[in-house]
Amino acid sequence: MAGIWVFAESREHTRELLGAGRELADRMGTTLGVFAQGASASKEYIACGADEVFVLPVLGEDEPLEACVPVLADAVSAGDPDVIFIGATARGKTIAARLASRLKTGLCSCCSGFVYDEGDKLLRMERMVYGGAGIQTVVCETRPQMATIAPRTFAPAPEQEGRSGKVSELPVVPESGVKVLDRLPRQRGAVDVTRAKAIVCVGRGVEKAEDITLARDLADVLGAEVACSRPIAEELQWLPEDVYLGISGKRVKPELYVGVGVSGQIQHVTGIRDSRVIFAINRDENAPIFEAADFGIVGDLYQVVPKLIDEFKAALKA
């Protein structure tokens, strides 16, 4: 038995990996399998391209998801898949590393794309290095070939009517020495910027915290959400950390990204480079953001943004 197998924490992320996995499985002439946390998602995953669903055992309240690693390893050893894609969340990367160690195989962390070489039957996987300044090509010569893939790297697989597949339940998780003693919710903003279709991003060009209202006013007109660069969240703490964009923050793919006073260092551009349209406002004509931008205005944001708001309001009334 062989094939492409995928696993992610959330259903949405799983569907994204199914989209990438289905295309690859068709090229390789093999099957697509998926690990599911509970049988309720089985029909959905089969409709999204899976040929087989492996249902993980239900964990106790005091058991972390990592406790499933022995079960995953046994299933992989028995099924002998060619490729395994795992969602590159914080927990997913931990699970992938432990699984690769058990299987004695390689792992491409945070894979951003891949090409299947039909000659040597291997994946040539790409990942960003040096803060996004370079792209590394990784080839895993051992089996299974493994990679972790971040959310929103690939489009989610669409559902198809009439598909059928096999559902298998995996055995109970063995006793683990690790227990969850308590769970404390992390304070987060009300909006998930990774889902936003339009984003207005605030950078260090904004002089005071109260001036972020300019960006909010622009966002209201555009139907956008407000995000920021790393210094605004981590150093100045003007906005919560879960809305800062960049290589160590959120990666986004909006239809429109507007950078307000954002310099555009490579660490930030890495998180926004997949935006359909990038529009930058900065007083420094040599700001790096203009190299990544589709459109830009060189000027003082305190003069430019109010004029843009007026123009957009007028256009909406017309």
Strands 113-117 and 122-129: antiparallel
Q: Of the given ranges (128-132, 138-142, 151-155), which has the lowest mean pLDDT?
A: 128-132
Q: Which amino acid is at 206?
A: V
The pLDDT tens digits for 38-77 are 889 999 999 999 999 999 988 877 788 888 999 999 999 9
Return the higher-pLDDT residue of 270 and 159: 159
Q: Which residue's structure tokens are 């697989």?
A: 157
The pLDDT tens digits for 244-270 are 998 778 889 999 999 999 999 988 998
Superfamily name with CATH number, domain 4-169: HUPs (3.40.50.620)
pLDDT in the model for residue 188: 52
Measured CA to CA, the distance from residue 12 to residue 152 in angstroms comes to: 9
**Mean pLDDT, rounded, of the chain:** 91
pLDDT in the model for residue 51: 97
Q: What are phi and psi of 245, to 5 degrees?
A: -110, 145
The pLDDT tens digits for 96-132 are 999 999 999 999 999 989 999 998 889 999 998 876 6
Q: What are phi and psi of 44, to 5 degrees?
A: -65, -45
CB atoms within 10 A of CB 144: 23
Measured CA to CA, the distance from residue 191 to residue 189 in angstroms comes to: 6
Element (H, E) at 184: none
Q: What residues are paired with 129 via a beta bridge?
A: 134
Residue spans in the chain of domains classed CATH 3.40.50.1220: 193-317
Q: What is the mean pLDDT of residues 274-278?
A: 94
Element (H, E) at 55: strand 52-55
pLDDT in the model for residue 251: 86
Q: What is the CA radius of gyration of the chain?
A: 22
Residue spans in the chain of domains classed CATH 3.40.50.620: 4-169
Q: Which amino acid is at 154?
A: F
Task: Report whether CATH 3.40.50.1220 matches the domain 193-317.
Answer: yes
**pLDDT band of 302, cuts 50, 70, 90:** very high
The pLDDT tens digits for 4-42 are 999 999 999 999 999 999 999 999 999 999 999 988 999
**pLDDT band of 187, cuts 50, 70, 90:** low
| Residue 14 burial (10 A CB sphere; 0-12, 13-18, 19+) | buried
Residues contacting residue 239 through CB under 8 Å, at least 6 positions apart: 189, 202, 212, 226, 227, 228, 232, 233
End-to-end CA distance of the chain: 62
The model's pTM: 0.72
Measured CA to CA, the distance from residue 52 to residue 67 in angstroms comes to: 22
Edge-to-edge strand list for the sheet holding 145-149 = 145-149, 83-87, 4-7, 32-36, 52-55, 166-169
Residue 315 scores a pLDDT above 80? yes
Residues contacting residue 213 through CB under 8 Å, at least 6 positions apart: none
Residue 230 scores a pLDDT above 60? yes
Q: Which token pair is 98?
A: 């432990």
pLDDT in the model for residue 189: 54
